[in-house]
Chains A and B, each alone.
Chain A
Amino acid sequence: MIRIAAVGDVHLGEDARGRLRPALEKVGEHADVLLLAGDLTRHGTVEEAHVVADEFADLPVPVIAVLGNHDHHSDCANEVSDVLTGHGVHVLEGTAVKFQLNGCSVGVAGVKGFGGGFAGKCGSMFGEREMKSFIGHSIEVSGMLKDALSSLHTDIKIALTHYSPVPDTLRGEPPEIYPFLGSYLLGEAVDETGTNLAVHGHAHFGTEQGLTPGGVRVRNVAQPIIRSAYKVYCVEPAVVES
């Protein structure tokens, strides 16, 4: 069994330095790995990235992150990633990492994701350049997630995004803004790749629990939803008859 700690939308900055650290110091007692589901900063500046890096540095478990829309706000997402990477955080964007934990191989594939909406209520790559660019980005990053998940051949496979792959975990948000909160294309990537769990953030007024159309559990770990420094999920690898 693997214990997965996860949190998103911590929105750190100098004014919130150290807020999570007391609970993080004990993360090793609760979990084997820590996932960060984007919106780690407030304005996406390098200065804020240093606060995030200090907050999550030197923990006894591997830390794996994706960025969120706030982390892109200052147009320096690569620099933000570099700061985090320099402090030992694995930052994923269409990439994957693998670990051996408790005798079990665990793979995490991650991407920021994007909006676009859900089946039957989504945008298409048609019309104005701005619209094609909006939906095109969603198609591109979802394809990256699918490829990264497909590359994993581990006992447990986890998808980590900032935007939601399903509408279930958005309940509580106004339905009119669902197209800005996630995309069914992310859910399709999860469903087509034998993934065990999908973790995301972004929807502060949403709901923690959801399910993809293919029956994969989804958890919205935005901090205003989980109301703690992180939430812990225990996942068993599938039993394969030999």
Chain B
Amino acid sequence: MTAEQYLAADLRRAIAEDPRTAELGVRVTVRGNHVLLTGDVTCEERRAALEEVLQDVAPELHVMNDVCVTPAGEPVGEEELR
């Protein structure tokens, strides 16, 4: 593995294990000085918390936060299983 891969692994563990985030459903990709976050979280506060944790663990990286807040509206239609 390259150093970038080790770093991505460390960051992914940090956002899973830090109680401020506890997110296992966020992908971390490191490219040079950039770290890209993708996936879904439950609310806007948790999206912001991801950046907070990364700032503590790897302040030198520029965070690109593409994480979405999962929609929680009424479903459209239904699926019939026959």
Contact = CB atoms under 8 A, between A and B. Distances in A.
B57 to A, nearest CB: 19
A234 B19 CA distance: 38
A23 interface: yes
* Interface-central residue, B45, B72, B77, by most chain A CB under 10 Å: B72
Contact of B73 (A23, A197, A234, A235): A23
Contacts of A3: 78
Contacts of B19: 43
A223 B70 CA distance: 7
Contacts of B71: 227-228
Q: On chain A, which size bracket covers the interface? A: 35 or more
B25 A234 contact: no
A232 B79 contact: yes
Interface in A185-231: 196-197, 204-205, 217, 223-224, 226-231
- What 5 pairs between A and B have smallest CB-CB spacing? A204-B25, A224-B40, A232-B78, A228-B75, A23-B74
Given A15-B46, A230-B75, 8 more contacts: A19-B43, A23-B75, A42-B42, A205-B27, A223-B40, A228-B72, A229-B74, A232-B77
19 contacts: A3-B78, A16-B43, A19-B42, A23-B75, A30-B78, A42-B42, A70-B22, A73-B22, A196-B81, A223-B40, A223-B72, A224-B25, A226-B75, A228-B72, A228-B74, A229-B72, A231-B79, A232-B78, A234-B81
Interface of A: 3, 5, 9-13, 15-16, 19-20, 22-23, 26, 30, 42-43, 70, 73, 196-197, 204-205, 217, 223-224, 226-236
